Amino acid sequence: MSALKVDYSVYLVTGRDLLQPGMDYLESLEQSLQGGVTLVQIREKTADTGEFLEIAQASKTICHKYNVPILINDRIDIALAIKADGVHLGQSDMPISIARSLLPPNSIIGLTCNNAEHVTKAIEDGADYVGLGPVWATATKDVKNPTVGPRGIGKLVHLLEGTDVKSVAIAGIKSTNTLHCLHGSVSLGGRALDGVAVVSDIVASQEPKKAAARIAAEVQSFRRAQ
């Protein structure tokens, strides 16, 4: 159950395989939080359950030290075990209704959405937020869906008008294109993304704190211009 306020502005999705040589994972996570990461998703595609559990628990301790909520990718059991603040689910993971029934009240549930049908269903199913994309091409994940660009993201954000469902964009987002993504995706109704989800621009940086701070500054600059 999340007692922490959820701020989607700078949403870090982890990717331990992208760390610079010699960079410790937990050190990198802590630096990124110091730089201004506001929400963290632990994404582990190859770790076994024991390892995932250990990483998730250690990550939670650090995130909560900075009052930043922690979400677990895919694995409801890991989220329950470490009392995470919520989960992030993909289109072929557990349905939201079942996840909701298993998790404590007020857990955050996010869903990856690549098109309008996904977004409409996410609203119906009671997602707290949607991860929209891919915005641009990325080497971080083998994404099969076509890239939609900021304007495509804007069309999906528009579907959220009149709902409380929050949104972030993902794939290929860097400090250098964050403003392009945010401005370009402001929907017809004027609704904006609530944040950007980023892996490599932060995780693969030599200086994760600075990398996160650069993105945070771009998000703030966008908000000031709104």
Residues engaged in binding ligand TZP (CB under 6 A):
13, 43, 133-134, 138, 140-141, 143, 170-173, 198-200
Residue number, 28 or 140, with CB nearest to ligand TZP: 140
Q: Is 144 exposed, middle or buried (0-12, 13-18, 19+ CB in 10 A)?
A: exposed
Q: How far is the CB of 162 from ligand TZP (least distance, A)?
A: 26
Residue 90 contact among ligand TZP, Mg ion, none, beta carbon within 5 to 8 Å by kind: Mg ion
CA distance linking residue 184 with residue 48, whole number of Å:
39
Tokens 């982890």 sit at which residue?
14
> In one letter, which amino acid is 77?
D
The interaxial angle of helices 149-158 and 116-125, nearest 10 deg, is 40
The CB-of-102 to Mg ion minimum distance in angstroms stands at 16
Give the x-and-dash track for 51-90 against Mg ion (CB under 5 A): -----------------------x---------------x
Stretch (H or E) spanning 28:
helix 25-35
Residue 93 interacts with which of ligand TZP, Mg ion, none, CB < 5 to 8 Å by class? Mg ion
| R_g (Cα) of the chain, nearest Å | 16
By beta-carbon proximity to ligand TZP, the closer residue of 6 and 199 is 199
**Other residues' Cβ atoms within 10 Å of the Cβ of residue 77:** 13
Candidate segments 77-85, 91-99, 154-162, 191-199, binder of Mg ion by CB under 5 A: 91-99
